A and B are shown apart, each in its own frame.
Chain A
Amino acid sequence: MELWLSILITLIKILVVLGVFLGLGAYLTWFERKLAGHIQARMGPKLVGPFGLLQPLADGIKLLTKESIVPQNADKPVYYLAVVMALAPSLLLFSVIPFGPSFKLFGYEIKPIISDVNIALLLVFAFGSLAVYGTIFSGWASNSKYAFIGSLRKSAVIISYEVVLGFSVLGVILLAGTMSTTGIVQAQIERGVWFIVHQPVAFVLYLFCMLAESGRVPFDIQEAEAELVTGYNVEYGGMRFGVFPLAEWYLNVMALSAIAVVLFFGGWSGPPIFGPLSPYLWFLIKMFALVFFVLWLHWTLPRFQARDITEIGWKIMLPISIVNVVVTAIVAYIM
């Protein structure tokens, strides 16, 4: 009975998270276009529905009903697998994010996190590394030179920034003494201070890694439009194409921002000014503030080139992150 109930609850949680975040991901396209429009002295989508709100729907209908084209010399199984490999890890990232404190419903304690495992951050790294397979598979399977170069660039970036990401998060783990995401938030609430105060350097490093992992400007070399047409997804059409930006640009950015909120901004903590929904709203507000920042950068900066990105990653950011870890360890030991 207990087991069935917990499975049911987990299923409901999964459905809620999927529904909310896929919907948010779709509407983030509208939000980004609107935001880009206003940054660029334009209007953005306006005529399809009120304020252009039906735009993502129209895009979705169109993409879903396009003719399906598979390039002649494509490696077909891998070609399809790439789509799955792009979408799955970025969705899985949401499974370890705590959206609020646990609460009691009909006598059962429910945690608003899909799986509260004690190695949550390791899982985050694992999913982050898995996401690169989507790109590599798509580049390899399309049998196109542009796609191939784009995917190679992306994998070079991911390899260098995975390491930095790991080291930058290590400082937080040292301070909190746990790898569980819920535990880290609890630690911040107990101390009454967000870890960004203790770990500002780690946060900046994390931000860079987040941009690199999600392929946002200034790290969007894998699909640099002027150089590689659209890079790794050049041979994908219809909704199969739609999945790539959805996963990479929107879901990934949201998930990584959520993890940044957990690690550095005290998760759901905040004054209870919104009543019982307060923790969830605080979480979403912090998350979208970070997402907004990422989008803002995207529409302002030029992009690096591949050589520079890996150079900065290995030569500058990695040493800084290691020093940060060592200093944190010493200070934490003495205190």
Chain B
Amino acid sequence: MAMLNSNGFVLTTVDELLSWGRRNALWPLTIGLACCAIEMMHTAASRFDLDRLGVIFRASPRQADLLIVAGTVVNKVAPMLKLLWEQMPDPKWCISMGGCASAGGPFPTYATLQGVDRIIPVDVYIPGCPPHPQGLLYGILQLQKKIKEKGVKKYDKAFEEFRRDLERQGLIPREIAV
């Protein structure tokens, strides 16, 4: 049937169903790094109640789809965070919550990672120090929108290939020098 249908109707419907399931069951990892973690907890608690959107926190990275980097990432914890990200099964997404995670925030110091996107590809940045729970909710809604629009990609693998390509062509330094 799917072969006969030339405009790929069946395929898109299946894709849409998959993306619907995934965006409505985003399970973030229970990881709090600093101040933002408190607001993340507030977002999950009574007043804002992330469970309404089907978002429940899972403690094990194997069971999580979403990494909310809530707080300052320092140089010492960065490899651990990267490890957790690698332990999560595809498809997975990352929300960088707050100024520190997005760009180092108010800590341009020797100990702080200046933006978590240097180790993990980020899908949604949420500004604020810390962002309000409404901000995090908005970020999650934006992520759902993004999943709906872009479909589901294997982010990490695609990125790794892309990077290897660039390296093979010797493009990385020039890319950065622009």
Contact = CB atoms under 8 A, between A and B. Distances in A.
Instruction: State yes or no: do A and B touch (Cβ within 8 Å).
Output: yes
Contact of A61 (B21, B53, B91): B21
Interface of B: 17-18, 20-22, 24-25, 30, 45-46, 49, 51-54, 56, 58-60, 62-63, 65, 87, 89-91
Interface string A1-44: 00000000000000000000000000000000100010011111
Interface in A63-111: 63, 65-69
Interface centre among B22, B25, B46 (most CB of A within 10 A): B25
B63 A237 contact: yes
A62 B22 contact: yes
Interface in A217-246: 225, 229-230, 233-238, 241
A234 B62 contact: yes
B27 to A, nearest CB: 8
A62 B60 contact: no
A238 B89 contact: yes
B51 A65 contact: no
Contact of A58 (B21, B58, B60): B21
Best-buried of B18, B60, B87, B91 by chain A (most CB within 10 Å)? B60
A62 B63 contact: no
A65 B91 CA distance: 9
A59 B56 CA distance: 11
A48 B56 CA distance: 13
A334 interface: no
Given A58-B21, A61-B18, A237 B89 contact: yes
Given A55-B24, A225-B59, A37 B90 contact: no
A150 to B, nearest CB: 11
Nearest to B157: A67
A59 B21 CA distance: 6
A41 to B, nearest CB: 5
A198 interface: no
Contacts of B60: 229-230, 233-235, 237, 241
B62 A69 contact: yes
Contacts of B46: 40-42
A237 B59 CA distance: 12
Q: Among A41, A45, A57, A230, which residue has the most Cβ atoms of chain B within 10 A?
A: A45
A76 to B, nearest CB: 16
Contacts of A177: none
20 contacts: A33-B51, A44-B49, A45-B54, A47-B54, A52-B54, A54-B24, A59-B54, A61-B21, A65-B18, A65-B21, A65-B22, A69-B87, A225-B30, A230-B58, A230-B59, A230-B63, A233-B60, A234-B62, A237-B60, A237-B62
B93 to A, nearest CB: 12
B24 A48 contact: yes
Interface of A: 33, 37, 40-48, 52, 54-55, 57-63, 65-69, 225, 229-230, 233-238, 241
Contacts of A58: 20-22, 24-25, 54
B21 A241 contact: no
A48 B26 CA distance: 12
Top 5 nearest A-B pairs (CB, nearest first) are A61-B21, A237-B62, A67-B89, A58-B24, A67-B90
A45 B20 contact: no
B64 to A, nearest CB: 9
B22 A61 contact: yes
A45 B60 CA distance: 22
A43 B52 contact: yes
Contacts of A67: 89-91
Which of A40, A54, A62, A63 counts the most chain B CB atoms within 10 A?
A: A62
Contacts of A234: 59-60, 62
Nearest to A66: B89
Given A40-B46, A48-B54, 14 more contacts: A33-B51, A37-B51, A42-B45, A42-B49, A43-B51, A43-B52, A47-B53, A54-B24, A59-B54, A61-B18, A67-B89, A69-B62, A225-B30, A241-B63
A66 B90 contact: yes
A45 B21 contact: no
Contacts of A40: 46
Contacts of B91: 66-67
A57 B25 CA distance: 9
A58 B58 CA distance: 16
B20 to A, nearest CB: 7
Chain A CB within 10 Å — which of B18, B21, B62, B89 has the most?
B62
Contacts of A68: 89
B52 A46 contact: yes
B51 to A, nearest CB: 6
Contacts of A45: 51-52, 54
B170 to A, nearest CB: 32
